[in-house]
Structure 1
Amino acid sequence: MRMRFLGSTSEGGACPTLYETDRGTIVVQGLQVTDPEALADLRDVLEGEGAVEVPRELLVDIARRVL
């Protein structure tokens, strides 16, 4: 799989960051959610899955540019 940088709200390209893959999917780089109460709200988490947190404005900005 190859990824193409879409954008970030951080300086220096650190997380949170979004990437588009050559498989037509989006990869999210961000801080891992570790709060037990927040994790308890997740549904149907499969083996190997995790949750990351990104700012809403990053998703809105990328959606405007990509879509």
Structure 2
Amino acid sequence: MKLTRLVGECEDGECPTIYATDRGTLAIQGGKVTNHGLTLPPHETLAEIPIELVRKAVRDNLI
């Protein structure tokens, strides 16, 4: 899978970031959410990112 960085909180790659994939989807890098009370399939996880990151991506017409 090829990832293209759309928007992030820093430039060093270790911060919340939204990527576009070459499959027409988004990949989200953020803090792993562990105490959510949901039952997730083994191949899925939840990532938490600041809402402002999504707002910036929309405002800048990135997604």
> Structure 2 unaligned runs (5+)?
none
Q: What is aligned with 2:14?
A: 14
* Identical residues among aligned pairs (%): 39
Query: 1:62 aligned to 54, 57, 60, which one?
Result: 57
Structure 1 length normalisation: TM-score?
0.77
The structure with more radius of gyration: 1
Runs of 4+ residues deviating >6 angstroms: none
Q: Name the counterpart of 1:48.
A: 43
Instruction: Give the TM-score normalised by the residue count of structure 2.
Output: 0.81
Structure with more helix by fraction: 1
| C-alpha RMSD of matched pairs (Å) | 1.7
